Structure 1
């Protein structure tokens, strides 16, 4: 005599369910999985076993109808009385992103939300390719899953190391949320260290900036993009900040000097930037622009994608081989300020950095600065 287990196999993985019924060994047919006795006791056992099968198939069908993954372990847990199906990665991730999107303009910027949503899309493609599934329970995520996803991002999405790290950090945040809520017990990121590579950020020389400023454009869209780019080069504003720059952000102090005072979209740190003559002229140029008036914005800034596309045209026309992007303007501003003996602390305040170490990433010592500062030493040791 012994308990009769029911064995269910799915995707080559097995899970046994003890139905807590017993039968004599010589009265059990293992091949057809039923009792062979003709009396009432054995017939009731067979009927109960069939009820168990029916219930498992019902759970299986409901999971499929809901588009949720089906594994032997999940079936077993639901059969044994689990009140809720296991918490799923993409299901919870999407819920998180919906809440995040509602916070745009309050605690987060749209670019951050878009990165989270892109991570979900990559995970969807990854799960279909590697696991033939539309979602995965949190408790099934292990270190191998993380490593495979990293490889997928690099190979299938052609992401460099630093971009890959950003997506992995986002996944880790969602996993941490799952661990906090006890949706999973093992941390798949234990022992994994994120290594970012140091990048050489491009910037313009003063000669290159003047070439762009002095170029005449017959196409209005290129002229506007050039003006916006120059404005960023001489103010240090990031693309999203200049895109949301409003007239109330341009203020005059008690000495009659004009300033840009605006909280950064990314960090909410306030930038304090003296308004130079050229940026002031650009503001005046677009003061009555229909787009600016309609949106209550200082400049008619297009989308980041269109902006970068037009900057490529401008670079070609001006004979500049560097890849012009909206962010190269911010780098250039930091370099110009440093070359003109502006302190790192002041540059950090203008850029809206709370940590001067962030500013040091932007600021590069130009060759002309090195040459000037070595002039005294050069003369002292001249032959």
Structure 2
């Protein structure tokens, strides 16, 4: 095709093939000289929310914004491919531009395109093999990469075969300079990117692994826990706002069960069983490790379940507790810690740490039993909590020593 010939793009939902939820798959139609080439965007939308004039979703929301941003990026990418053909004086068709876009052939595989395909696969497996938190972390990493490539190289994407150790180190520095998070958070972003590069290496899209000489350096952090006194203050305090009382109850429930946020959110009657002693137990397959957790239902935890029995249906597949989003829980816990004068950064995951130390290990429960209740794959993970407990005991004994020094 010559430079002065026709070229157009059209984004549209294919309404002739709706799924059971009434959603249609988005398609991109590339037209060159009246000849078309189409490809699926692997994203679905409600046709009622689609604006054919703007070629975007009308409604607001996180998912809609991600799809609209992706459409904008695809427009830029397609026009860049078309512009490259024009500048080089090379003939092209709708099919050749489509081939560039979907990266057919190892020579044209790009970082963001591979990452988009990876994230699309993760999204399809949400609730099965992946959690929403994992999906969001990869979305954030992909967006950081996009900004890095645009700022450092002036491009909208980067060929994966050109990624080297210098690229990786520049990405690391870029994240630190732009305040993307603390040391471990930034290291996690780079290891997320490492996974994408390993996908390219496994598929022979690159001949060498640029991460071969790169090693993640993690900074050891202290795991905060609530003391027995702080836990008792939290339990006995009544708040004026219902949302704070509910947040406290869910948090305390996890302090006495060790369940993580994702696991308490999916807790149903199916997970409550009777043990050999006739007492209730929780049995649940941990979402993160796929390891079975078996936890005795302590009296306080059982009372919390009874308190909220009216909030949910008695159906065995309905969640037992009215759990807020993780973001809201952490926001409300910040208010609660201030009201209870707990001078610690209290997050929801702190409840799991508290169960491991203050509730179990500090009361003589063997570390093997704690490991089984927490659903750890290795007892070495549980030993981290034992070290936290040792430090706490040392500090407590220092106070005792100071009292008797003068005797």
Q: TM-score, normalised by structure 1?
A: 0.75
Moved more, 268-277 or 176-185: 176-185
Q: Secondary structure of 1:183's match?
A: coil
Task: Indicate if the aligned counterparts of 1:237 and 1:330 stay in contact, CA closer than 8 A.
Answer: yes
Q: Structure 1's 361 and 326: CA in aligned 2 closer, same or farther, altered over 3 A?
A: same
Task: Measure the CA separation in 1 of the matches of 2:368 and 2:149.
Answer: 47
Q: Structure 1's 136 and 64: CA in aligned 2 closer, same or farther, altered over 3 A?
A: farther
Q: 1:164: which partner in 2? A: 186
Whether 1:284 and 2:306 are equivalent positions in the alignment is: yes
Q: Secondary structure of 1:289's match?
A: coil
Task: Indicate if the aligned counterparts of 1:68 and 1:134 stay in contact, CA closer than 8 A.
Answer: no
Whether 1:350 and 2:373 are equivalent positions in the alignment is: yes
Whether 1:312 and 2:329 are equivalent positions in the alignment is: no
Q: 1:56: which partner in 2? A: 88
Task: Measure the CA separation in 2 of the matches of 1:83 and 1:348.
Answer: 48
Moved more, 286-295 or 104-113: 286-295
Q: 1:236: which partner in 2? A: 258
Q: Structure 1's 373 and 58: CA in aligned 2 closer, same or farther, altered over 3 A?
A: same
Q: 1:46: which partner in 2? A: none
Post-superposition CA distance 1:327-377 (Å, at most 9, x none): 111111111211111111111001000101111223422567458999xx9
Q: 1:365: which partner in 2? A: 389
Unaligned runs of at least 5 residues, structure 1: 1-52, 75-81
Give the one of 363, 370, 389 matched to 1:340. Answer: 363
Q: Structure 1's 256 and 134: CA in aligned 2 closer, same or farther, altered over 3 A?
A: same
Q: Cα distance, 1:186 vs. partner?
A: 2.8
Task: Measure the CA separation in 2 of the matches of 1:286 and 1:184.
Answer: 55
Whether 1:209 and 2:241 are equivalent positions in the alignment is: no
Task: Indicate if the aligned counterparts of 1:289 and 1:300 stay in contact, CA closer than 8 A.
Answer: yes
Post-superposition CA distance 1:221-240 (Å, at most 9, x none): 11100000000111111111
Length, aligned pairs only: 320
Task: Indicate if the aligned counterparts of 1:67 and 1:134 stay in contact, CA closer than 8 A.
Answer: no
Give RMSD over aligned pairs: 3.3
Q: 1:11: which partner in 2? A: none
Q: Secondary structure of 1:326's match?
A: coil
Task: Measure the CA separation in 2 of the matches of 1:91 and 1:217.
Answer: 50
Unaligned runs of at least 5 residues, structure 2: 1-84
Task: Measure the CA separation in 1 of the matches of 2:172 and 2:271.
Answer: 42
Post-superposition CA distance 1:216-265 (Å, at most 9, x none): 11211111000000001111111111111112111112321111100111
Task: Indicate if the aligned counterparts of 1:286 and 1:292 stay in contact, CA closer than 8 A.
Answer: no
Larger radius of gyration: 1
Whether 1:106 and 2:128 are equivalent positions in the alignment is: yes
Post-superposition CA distance 1:243-298 (Å, at most 9, x none): 11112111112321111100111111111111100000000000111589798111
Q: TM-score, normalised by structure 2?
A: 0.71
Q: Secondary structure of 1:365's match?
A: helix
Task: Measure the CA separation in 2 of the matches of 1:104 and 1:229.
Answer: 25
Q: 1:198: which partner in 2? A: 220
